[in-house]
Structure 1
Amino acid sequence: MTQTLILKSSILGEHSESGRLLDYFTSLVDEPQVRVRDLAASPLPMLDGEGAQALRGGDNLNERQRELLALSDELVAELKTADRVVISAPMYNFHVPVQLKAWVDLICRAGVTFRYTEQGPQGLLTGKKAVVVSTRGGQYQGSDLDMITPYMRTVLGFVGIRDVEFVYAEGLAMSGEGRESGLSEARGLLSELAAG
């Protein structure tokens, strides 16, 4: 039975188009094993020096560090359990929301989700699929201004998830027709991915 992890990261709540697209995808999958984590509704802490030390483990961690390490372990366990992860990555000022970046910082852990080898870093979360849903106000796909696609492909590949599909809903701040066209195209792609 396929287990799916849904990660929402939009700060717009019920007005979020990326959130609605993830809800649409969820409605299409006949899976009792779907876990949703809203990174904006329940924000993760930003990584600082003390937190970075906590993620390395050890016996001399303070209470805050132990709590952060336990949270990271929980996030990693969710990811390890999932066969598929579906991530909303709306474009905010040309990049992903800080809420999503906080999740990335807490799941990228040497010896846990990747390891260093003589041939370079090796991801440990192999055999998984990912779908990244990126909503944008303008048209950026394939241009130098799209920093989300290479970033998400790199981050997911770094931890071993190389089977990544991207779904774009672009032009959402443009004319009504362009907006509806972008959302319709995204829903169509999500329907195909849910069926496959």
Structure 2
Amino acid sequence: MPKLLHLACSPRADSESAAAARIFLDSFGRAKPDWNIDVMDLWRESLPEFAGALLEAKYARINGRAFTDAQHDRFAEAERIAVRFSLADRVLISTPMWNFSIPYKLKQWFDVVIQPGLTFRFDPAQGYLPLLKDRPTLVILASGSDYATGMNRGRTDMATPYLREALRFMGIKDMRFVPIGPTTGPTEPIRIARENAHRRLAEMAASF
């Protein structure tokens, strides 16, 4: 059964990114009822801290050293999460923008899965090489300001370029971004941004 992995990155069930994800998944489910939807709520699932034995394991692997028992166990946790990602045929990431970038839980997820031998390798002649196959990946990014049209009041979107580069580093090139903003301020611009994003997501779901 083909699988869509949904990385849910907002701690609020009623957030704009969560609501938009539901719109997309409802339409996707109707279009492709035979697909398995694997939801990974980054605020409810246990992510290993990128410290201690896991950090040591990364450098042991880079330097060609054998793991200790503790390093082996911690790296196995990262491997399970990376494999869950690598086995997905489609990926949906729904996230808010926090302080111009991504929530720390999503950053922690990237720190856990971007591991040598799991999602990338290093070749002395070619440099860093991705290990994952490309697959369609949709990012829903909700922000307080309207970064899509430039009405961002002088603030910088650092979330989009980070997500593009982190995904590309692992092998994901087929990326689509649907921004939602503004999500704060006067009611009417928020309503228009929400409706436009929801309409676009419903249309995209059938062919995703």
Same fold (TM over 0.5): yes
How far apart, in 1, do the equivalents of 2:149 and 2:164 lie? 14
Maintained 8 Å contact 1:89/1:148:
no
Q: Secondary structure at the match of 2:92?
A: strand
Unaligned ranges ≥5, structure 1 = none
Deviation at 1:146, TM superposition (A): 0.6
Q: How many corresponding residue pairs? A: 193
- 1:101 is aligned with what amino acid? K
Q: If you compute each CA radius of gyration, which structure gives the higher value, 1 or 2? A: 2
- 1:109 pairs, out of 109, 115, 134, with 115
SS in structure 2 at match of 1:157: helix
- Paired with 2:44 and 2:15, the residues of 1 have a C-alpha distance of 12
Q: 2: distance between equivalents of 1:69 and 1:142?
A: 42
Quote the sequence identity (%). Answer: 32
Work out whether residues 48 and 77 of structure 2, in 8 Å CA contact, stay in contact via their aligned partners in 1.
Answer: no
The question of 1:171 aligning with 2:177 is answered no
2:78 corresponds to which residue?
Answer: 72
1:39 and 2:39 aligned: no
User: Compared with structure 1, are the counterparts of its residues 18 and 67 closer, same or farther at alpha carbon in structure 2 (3 Å cutoff)?
Assistant: farther
Query: Aligned residue for 1:61?
Result: 69
Pair 1:9 & 2:17 matched: no
Bigger Cα displacement from structure 2, 129-138 vs 69-78: 69-78
Q: Which residue of 2 aligns with 1:26?
A: 25
C-alpha distance in 1, partners of 2:193/2:74? 38
Deviation at 1:190?
A: 1.3
Structure 1 vs Structure 2 CA RMSD: 1.9
Match of 1:85 in 2: 91
Structure 2: gaps (5+ residues): none
C-alpha distance in 2 between matches for 1:49 and 1:60: 12
Deviation of 1:26 after TM superposition, in Å, equals: 1.3
Instruction: State the structure with bigger RCO (CA 8 A, min sep 6), 1 or 2.
Output: 2
Residue 43 of structure 1 contacts residue 99 of structure 1 at CA under 8 Å; is this kept in 2? no
Question: Are 2:137 and 2:174, in contact at CA under 8 Å, matched by a contact in 1?
Answer: yes
* Counterpart contact for 2:53–2:74, Cα < 8 Å: no
Q: TM-score, normalised by structure 2?
A: 0.85
- 1:186, 1:154 → 2: CA distance? 23
- Please state how far the C-alpha of 1:43 moved relative to its aligned partner: 4.6
